[in-house]
Amino acid sequence: MIKVMLVDDHDLVRTGLKRLINDVDGFRVIAEAASGEEALQQAKLNEIDIILMDINMPGIGGLEATKKLLQINPDFKIIGVTMHDDDIFPQRLLKAGAVGYLTKGSDINEMVHAMREVIANRRYICPDIAQQLALAQMQEFDSSPFETLSERELQVMIMLMDGQKVNAISDKLALSPKTVSTYRHRLYLKLGVQNDMELARLALQHGIIDKHGTH
């Protein structure tokens, strides 16, 4: 039996994935976590084979959680499952040590295929993302300005793009409002923008968000 942990801050997402995965022979969801910190605790309490990891969560976030989980056990097979289809996010997650990447638009058949691939010690990246990664390597001269952001700056940026205010972000990330404002100022400087509207326009140009403001 392949033991799976779901890491996502949305209870409905975890509930849906758990139901689908538990209906597949050979797989069982044995642990759930709503944050990176909770994932670290669960990883120490349970024998886990595969971790399905969201990136944008309260606290340390999926990127940092991936690194810390692999410090606990380098044999964990971590697959990113997120809304992000921009090449920056899978690049960051794969560099952190993940072995797969799916978007939340993937169906259960692709998810099961991905889990079987990583258990067989092969990487799996959904086709759309794989194509973007290949194109990004071919077009290094046209690299995204968002690649200059740190993981925390990227996390703050995503939350700003969701329309969240500084105080709300500080609560979710367990940071002071002043620290969040500092991160926002840094990413403004790095990206050459002056406000959230200009940030959103740049994110739209580079495919970080779509025209409806979703990422």
CATH number at residue 67: 3.40.50.2300
Q: CATH number of the domain that 172 lies in?
A: 1.10.10.10
For residues 62 and 111, state if they share a domain. Answer: yes
Regarding whether 120 and 190 lie in a shared domain, the answer is no
Do 151 and 49 belong to one domain?
Answer: no
What are 35-62's pLDDT values in tens digits? 989 999 999 999 999 999 987 777 778 8
Of 138, 159, 185, the last residue of a domain is 138
User: Span 16-24, mean pLDDT?
Assistant: 94
Residue 134: is its pLDDT beyond 70? no
Residue 212's pLDDT band, with cuts at 50, 70 and 90, is very low
Total domain count for the chain? 2
If asked whether residues 77 and 165 sit together in one domain, one would say no
**Are residues 168 and 84 both part of a single domain?**
no
Domain span holding position 172? 145-205
Question: Are 22 and 92 contained in the same domain?
Answer: yes
Q: Which two tokens stand for residue 88?
A: 């920056």
- Residue 111 and residue 36 share a domain: yes
- Structure confidence by residue, pLDDT tens digits, 138-194: 445 456 777 788 878 888 888 888 788 899 888 888 889 999 999 999 999 888 898
| Residue scoring higher pLDDT (22 or 132) | 22
pLDDT class of 30 with cuts at 50, 70, 90: very high
Whole-angstrom distance, CA of residue 174 vs CA of residue 96? 22
What is each CA distance from 39 to 20, 30, 187, in whole angstroms? 20, 12, 28
pLDDT digits (tens, 9 = 90+) for 78-109: 999 877 555 567 777 888 899 999 887 788 99
Do 82 and 182 reside in the same domain of the chain? no
Residues 18 and 117 in one domain: yes
**Is 29 in the same domain as 6?**
yes
Confidence of residue 121 (pLDDT cuts 50, 70, 90): very high
Closest residue by Cα to residue 64 from 133, 153, 135? 153
Residue type at position 211: K
Residue from 95, 91, 84 nearest 158 by CA: 84
